[in-house]
Structure 1
């Protein structure tokens, strides 16, 4: 399209393209101007492959990226405005961030202080909780995919390889996406991947940001793969009080990593200046069952302010604390995509990222795949054996040399099962046998999404629909089982428990005061379930 004799690229009849901001494996990002709303945006152009099959694979992946991010409304998650098909290509129109990537910031000015790192970590943790509540995983959390606003607030971006929990993987057999040094070991060994995998990546990111060195930095992709799967992380001294947090998050076993609530409390202590972050028990440990907030995905976790932390412009120190709030009008020259990864962090089986040479960065060199595949199978076999040994230990305990006399005290017995809760049904039993008096019960969200209005509202996670979507159903408030929480919230009830029906959210823990049956359901009454869709999977653990 031309205007006044000058060539003007106009996408979707409203987005006027400007200069290129960066290029990556998934596409090219352009500065653009939204003529309809008179604002600057970022437009991500999906790369066109040479053959139709590859193009459609990329198209599906980009649609997945946009859908995953568009479902999340959080000040520290990049906003997606629009999807446009133009000239047989897909364009994702996003919020324009007016600052560099965290990787660029560290490369230019050096590592951040532990307090500053903890403050940014709190923001990223809140962003991840919102993403997980929407039923999505990021899968590529690293400094290069975190942008900084002018006020210093962090924004999680580049969902190019994110995968929705309720969709099958789009990666081909043997293909790994993302930077190896920031990928959880279960991703490298084809085990079940969930929110703890993103928390692992957050831990690796915190260590790299506070020290300048990724914890699994190796000269080759195969060596990094081996290090992530088998080796202990290298955590420099300058990480300081963040060390216990990083070590807990980088536990090789997902089940032994702390919960997001525990990590948030520890990060807040460090951000406030404490030298001891406090205890970091595994997510399933006693005492680690905080009540889930009755919140929407937009405010699942508190958004911290960088009070009493150093300024983002000076290396190692902050003097004027910015307060990250909701996204604001942007006027500066942003940097979006194309930011460097920290030195020594190889990538595996991902298209090389090409950075504008004007920015002073070199494109990373391609890595071979043969040796990495060797480690893939080695890592998978070793970790499977380790997982089996661990499972036998926890299921049966260590070997005993006794004869099992009845008068010998027996350890508590724990049973764990996964339960699917259907949005189109009412109360559903979550236990195969009645719970006994004194049993400790944990209900923890695992995966899946649902909606109470499949024709008009998006799929959401266990904390239910957003405040805006919940308000749109005000006319049907009589359909709520629990009027104090949004439609779509996961609910539970058990005889004698105060607050029935209880808002389970992501986790619920209680001790039974009488025998009974645990029941779960969606926050939507009988007679109102016809337009419901989807299901959640939860893990129910009972300790006798």
Structure 2
């Protein structure tokens, strides 16, 4: 988003240079990445003379939200701290400093698996199977500790210098000994990697994590997530009802992926069966062998004390066929500064779990010429109204759903989905009817024979002011600018793609340090679509999804993203608008 923004942020934490020493022990260095829960910094542990990763929790302005995030961060730290496994990131410390919570973790000197695939392409099936064995061992340790990870995807898997995989980002894990996120009203995760039983508010357990592992294996071996769709709504429907798209290049992993992506948790193979199958493929076999379904197992209980306070010991690391190159910046848990499009995350949605929610904003980004897998804009939907935005192909849709009583089993998933789909289509139909009945807003009815010219204009996120008209607008012309399609971001490494309204308030707050230097209009969020025209009472004008005005003088209409000159180098994406001029 800006040349030097990283360096400015690196010099500033919550209060200036005097705050660089956290808890009198951890000296902050470079910012390594930003995730949904916090910002990750390289830090130096002065007491033990070693480098670590320090995750700073993003603090909300609302007191309730602040405490909720603190609880979630503590939950993340406790989850990981109880594990002792070579393929699970290590947690060293949990400190509170100046009303902020910091999780001090092992520093992983390597990229995320998402970045590795974006840079070098999909991995061979044999190599993918070897990494799958490591991740399976990590998940068994997580499950043995009474937890579920719930957000397994390439962006949350880091690679050490020797190529081994490390499972990170336990921010939404469900614990037996702590308040479950489902009881506080939320379900989080990335839609394309989320088991269907989670989307339909049914019981979840270890098989749900195995589903996510199956989706990850397919994406890693093919470069394409098995449920990748152009919109969040389509991805949600695909996960719930459609068969996965598994390219031929996954080879002998195909039966494994198909078994893991079975819609019924009871029909998925057990961890033991999966281990045998993955080992066969990792050893070079053309056939993974039989993959019978596991015996039905109950869900992981979220309330109640943990009965195994000691560290969980699990089998040691699994060797990969060969080291995985680890180009690019240091990657650390909880922040994905360099995660590519479809491998990272996707749109976020808020919906009631008693029905399949329809995403309503943004979606995954796509890295041109490079296979993609997972991260993206925020989608918010409710059963009473629906918004729609172009998905960002850089991520897989993420779901945030207020908890509620699950629907009666007799209704089934199909009825749930079509209830929501019907409501959505009804709203869309009403909007279309209103549009074609009344047409775009007009400032007057005086023109006897108006002449209207219409043009599609694409506004690039990486450029400043751009002309939106090929000819000069005349005095008295009625101008209409309407958002058509597209998404963009002011920070491709750390923030999701969004539409013309710009980044969310929470994301905008994380960039407060750059408001003065980089915002063109300080009153609206980064990423908002701005317009200007000579004589307009307010220049620049926040366009949003539509802008209508009558020209008071001749001039040229210009549009741009809300991000200043010198701050555009890490912007990505473009937005297309329809410009109508009536004279």
Q: Which residue of 1 aligns with 2:25?
A: 14
Q: Which residue of 2 aligns with 1:139?
A: 150
Shift of 1:174: 6.7
Q: Which residue of 1 aligns with 2:189?
A: 178
| 2:264 counterpart of 1:222 | no
Q: 1:365 aligns with which of 377, 380, 383?
A: 377
Aligned equivalents of 1:96, 1:372: Cα separation in 2: 45
Aligned length: 352
Q: Which residue of 1 aligns with 2:108?
A: 97
| 2:246 counterpart of 1:250 | no
Contact 2:252 2:286 (8 Å CA) reproduced: yes
Aligned equivalents of 2:60, 2:384: Cα separation in 1: 25
Shift of 1:334: 1.9
Contact 1:212 1:342 (8 Å CA) reproduced: no
Shift of 1:366: 3.0
Q: Which residue of 2 aligns with 1:349?
A: 349
Once the two structures are superposed, the pairs formed by residues 22-41 of structure 1 within 5 Å of their partners are: 22-41=33-52
| 2:330 counterpart of 1:334 | yes
Aligned equivalents of 1:83, 1:372: Cα separation in 2: 41
Aligned equivalents of 1:201, 1:60: Cα separation in 2: 25
Q: Which residue of 2 aligns with 1:320?
A: none
Q: Which residue of 1 aligns with 2:63?
A: 52
Once the two structures are superposed, the pairs formed by residues 386-535 of structure 1 within 5 Å of their partners are: none
Contact 1:129 1:301 (8 Å CA) reproduced: no
Deviations 1:449-470 (A, max 9, x none): xxxxxxxxxxxxxxxxxxxxxx
Deviations 1:406-431 (A, max 9, x none): xxxxxxxxxxxxxxxxxxxxxxxxxx
Contact 2:172 2:181 (8 Å CA) reproduced: no
RMSD of aligned residue pairs (Cα, Å):
3.6
Aligned equivalents of 2:278, 2:203: Cα separation in 1: 27
Shift of 1:112: 0.3
Shift of 1:223: 1.1
Which 4+ runs in 1 deviate beyond 6 A? 350-355, 360-363, 371-377, 380-383
Q: Which residue of 1 aligns with 2:251?
A: 240
Shift of 1:382: 10
**Structure 1 residues 48 and 248, CA gap change in structure 2 (3 angstroms):** same
**Structure 1 residues 354 and 69, CA gap change in structure 2 (3 angstroms):** farther
Aligned equivalents of 1:107, 1:18: Cα separation in 2: 27
SS at match of 2:234: helix
**Structure 1 residues 230 and 372, CA gap change in structure 2 (3 angstroms):** farther
Aligned equivalents of 1:128, 1:80: Cα separation in 2: 16
Aligned equivalents of 2:193, 2:340: Cα separation in 1: 11
Q: Which residue of 1 aligns with 2:314?
A: 300
Contact 1:220 1:367 (8 Å CA) reproduced: no
Q: 2:325 aligns with which of 313, 327, 332?
A: 313
SS at match of 1:349: strand
Q: 1:69 aligns with which of 68, 77, 80?
A: 80
**Structure 1 residues 353 and 58, CA gap change in structure 2 (3 angstroms):** farther
Aligned equivalents of 1:197, 1:216: Cα separation in 2: 16
Deviations 1:483-536 (A, max 9, x none): xxxxxxxxxxxxxxxxxxxxxxxxxxxxxxxxxxxxxxxxxxxxxxxxxxxxxx
Contact 1:122 1:267 (8 Å CA) reproduced: yes
SS at match of 2:202: coil
Once the two structures are superposed, the pairs formed by residues 262-281 of structure 1 within 5 Å of their partners are: 262-281=273-292
Shift of 1:303: 2.7
SS at match of 2:349: coil
Aligned equivalents of 1:373, 1:269: Cα separation in 2: 49
**Structure 1 residues 250 and 16, CA gap change in structure 2 (3 angstroms):** same
Q: 1:203 aligns with which of 188, 204, 214?
A: 214
Deviations 1:345-377 (A, max 9, x none): 63323899999xxxx999833334248998999
| 2:131 counterpart of 1:125 | no
Aligned equivalents of 2:61, 2:77: Cα separation in 1: 23
Shift of 1:136: 1.0
Shift of 1:231: 0.6
5+ residue gaps, structure 2, are 1-10, 297-309, 351-360, 387-398, 415-583
Deviations 1:269-318 (A, max 9, x none): 00000000000101129xxxxxxxxxx96543453211xx2442299xxx
Deviations 1:371-397 (A, max 9, x none): 8998999xx869755599xxxxxxxxx
Q: TM-score, normalised by structure 2?
A: 0.55
Aligned equivalents of 1:26, 1:33: Cα separation in 2: 22
Aligned equivalents of 1:98, 1:212: Cα separation in 2: 23
Shift of 1:189: 1.1
Shift of 1:8: 6.1
5+ residue gaps, structure 1, are 286-295, 316-331, 389-544
Aligned equivalents of 2:362, 2:71: Cα separation in 1: 20
Aligned equivalents of 1:68, 1:158: Cα separation in 2: 10
Contact 1:129 1:297 (8 Å CA) reproduced: no
Aligned equivalents of 2:326, 2:314: Cα separation in 1: 31
Aligned equivalents of 2:148, 2:229: Cα separation in 1: 26
